[in-house]
Amino acid sequence: MRPSEAYVRLFEPPKMAGHFTGKHVVTVEQFTREDMIEVFRTAADFRDRVRHGDRTLLNAAAGRVMATLFYEASTRTDMSFQAAMHRLGGAVVSTSGGVRFSSVYKGENLADTIRAVGCYADVVVLRHPDVGSSYEAAYYLDQLGEQLGRSPVVISGGDGVGEHPTQALLDLFTIVDCKGRADRLTITMVGDLLNGRTVHSLSKLIAQYGAQEVDFCFVSPFSLRMPSYIVDFLHERGYRVMQTGDLYEVLNRSDVIYWTRVQQERFAKPEDYEAIRDDFVMTPEVLGQAKSDAILMHPLPRKNEMGTPRDHDILDADSRAVYFKQMANGMFVRMALLAKVLGAAV
């Protein structure tokens, strides 16, 4: 789903266009190719410096505060953002015990909660179940900023079935890192393409990057097909898109295989989830039919769509499986983004 017109009227996201400082991050559409290259260059530099124990990074966000506001569960996004801020020398605040123990529990709306958090932090990482919630947050933070005399920014950590922009940045960074390019690739996304926000953002980001000669293959149960607005976005930019329910039509020519979880929490009826949860299961046998230099990605967490725990072990040992690398890259990409929106000298 796209954010409703009402949200977009509240806040129209500006392009970064080389100027990240003080800008909210709510959609991948804000990033130009040059912006992505700059974020990836910075992330790779930070990765190097962290590996070498470079302590000067601790000056980057010293004295700055990041808040995490998560209305939905998270391990990687939440913790990698927190770790990123710590590694840049900044501080992190969140409500003790998560939003369940904040005034959200008393019925406070997002507009009021985000303004409270904006009073205390320079940057707020928000995950919320409503599509477009980060646009709403951006609007209220801008209003608040006028009173505060400084501009707290929001970074979306995922808005329901909408987008997950920072995940897409780390995903594309990982593709370029592992394949050495974003061009001349067949990129196959598999699973719950309807509700999975990561595949929405990643598809759009690759198109924004202007990757050449990329074919998109979307493999899913019929009821969980990629939303048409994403397919239209790709077509409008000249990309070939194939949609199918048969993985084997595309598996052996895929360079990037992006597997996803069926988003159980988005199903109104448990029986609808049960009916399709095992339609696409990645196992060592399935991976055995992929190209020897393909990469297997997954935003994680994984469940039955990656087989049994024994399958996990075999898949994890396959050099094509890059999802742990992807997960590790998350922190460096988020460090890069934080440093940029905070205007840190690095």
Point out the catalytic residue in the list 47, 64, 87, 164: 164
At residue 284, φ and ψ (nearest 5 deg) are -60, -35
Structure tokens at 209: 């990057």
CB of 64 to ligand ASP, least distance (A): 25
Q: How many residues bind ligand ASP (CB under 6 A)?
A: 6
Q: In angstroms, rounded to a whole number, what is the distance separating the alpha carbons of residues 37 and 32?
A: 9
Which CB atom, from 197 or from 225, has the smaller least distance to ligand ASP? 197
Interhelix angle 165-179/323-341, nearest 10 degrees:
120
Pairing of strands 185-190, 256-259: parallel
Tokens 């690398």 correspond to 325
CB of 108 to ligand ASP, least distance (A): 24
Q: Which is nearer to ligand ASP, 188 or 198 (CB)?
A: 198
**Binder of ligand ASP out of 299, 306, 311, 337 (CB under 6 A):** 299
Cβ at position 261, least distance to ligand ASP in Å:
4
Give yes or no for residue 3 binding ligand ASP (CB under 6 A).
Answer: no
User: Shortest distance, CB of residue 164 to ligand ASP, whole angstroms?
Assistant: 5
Cβ proximity of 87 and 43 under 8 Å:
no
The tokens for 238 are: 């000249």
Task: Identify whether 128 is a catalytic site residue.
Answer: no
Q: Where on the phi/psi map is residue 31: left (φ > 0), alpha (ψ -120 to 50), or beta?
A: beta
Least distance in Å: CB of 83 to ligand ASP? 16
187: enclosing H helix or E strand: strand 185-190
Answer for which of 47, 204, 261, 334 binds ligand ASP (CB under 6 A) is: 261
Is 47 designated active site?
no
Set 64, 76, 87, 197: catalytic member = 76
- Looking up tokens 């990123």 gives 84
Nearer to ligand ASP, 129 or 210 (CB): 129
Q: Is 55 exposed, middle or buried (0-12, 13-18, 19+ CB in 10 A)?
A: exposed
- Active-site choice (77, 186, 188, 260): 77
Please tell me the number of Cα atoms within 13 Å of 126 on its side-chain side.
35
Q: Is 204 a catalytic residue?
A: no
Q: Which of residues 174-213 bind ligand ASP (CB under 6 A)?
A: 197-198
Among the listed residues 3, 13, 132, 158, the single contact to ligand ASP using CB under 6 A: 158
Nearer to ligand ASP, 118 or 220 (CB): 220
Of 23, 64, 127, 128, the active-site residue reads 127
Task: Classify the C-alpha dihedral 268-280-185-294 as positive or negative.
Answer: positive
Nearer to ligand ASP, 135 or 140 (CB): 135
Phi-psi sector, 29: left (phi>0), alpha (psi -120 to 50), beta: alpha
Query: How far is it between the farthest Cα atoms of the chain?
Result: 59
Does the annotation mark 9 as catalytic?
Answer: no
Binding residue (CB under 6 A) for ligand ASP from 64, 128, 164, 340 = 164
CA 35 to chain centre: 16
Residues binding ligand ASP (CB under 6 A): 158, 164, 197-198, 261, 299
Query: Where in the sequence numbering do the catalytic residues fall?
Result: 76-77, 106, 127, 164
